[in-house]
Amino acid sequence: MKRNDLESMIKKLEEKIKNQQQLLQDLYTQLEALIEQEKEREQYISSKEIIDLVFKKIGKKINMSTIKRWADEGYLGEVIDEKEKFWALHAKQGKKRFLYPKAYAYTFLHEKGYLSSEFEVLDRVLVNAHANEQPIIGIIIDSCLNKDHFQYTIQIEGSFDVLKDVEESKIKSVEGAD
């Protein structure tokens, strides 16, 4: 190969590498925005998610017009357009999807009786406090809604020590409980 040909190939390859590096940097920027928006999206709940949540928790079917009325009356907090606020996330096609802050929506649903804790007072439960520790069996003595999730106070069987602010996700029902 001649010198001019090699120099030309090197120049083309350098330009290609430069373009690919810019593309890689742009992809990293998009990924950062996507991760940030995914985390922020977890703080909101959609109308459809509210309908599914109420049905799962108490078995009652509510419709979109009910949720729209609650939103219009301000019970669900600030109404957010999902496509506008979370542009980096893959949104479903079609009609607008409205989102509501989970803390407001959960509080309202709990006050209306549409949202209840998974476990009740005096339920016998298994608590997985830490991954590397043995599960603990206890009895629920109190529960409360903390923003967008339920927390429990649990009395440990045998020692009668009390665990406070136990997340619902760390509790399982004990099979064969009385």
The CA distance from 175 to 127, in Å, is: 13
Distances (CA, A) of 23 to 12, 16, 18, 154: 17, 11, 9, 53
User: Fold for domain 43-112?
Assistant: Arc Repressor Mutant, subunit A (1.10.10)
Identify the burial level of 163 via C-beta atoms within 10 angstroms of its C-beta, where 0-12 means exposed, 13-18 middle and 19 or more buried.
Answer: middle
Residue pLDDT, tens place only, 74-107: 889 888 888 777 766 666 555 667 899 998 899 8
* Domain residue ranges of the chain, discontinuous segments joined by +: 1-42, 43-112, 124-173
Residue pLDDT, tens place only, 143-154: 888 887 888 888
- Residue in 112, 92, 94 with CA at minimum distance from that of residue 50: 112
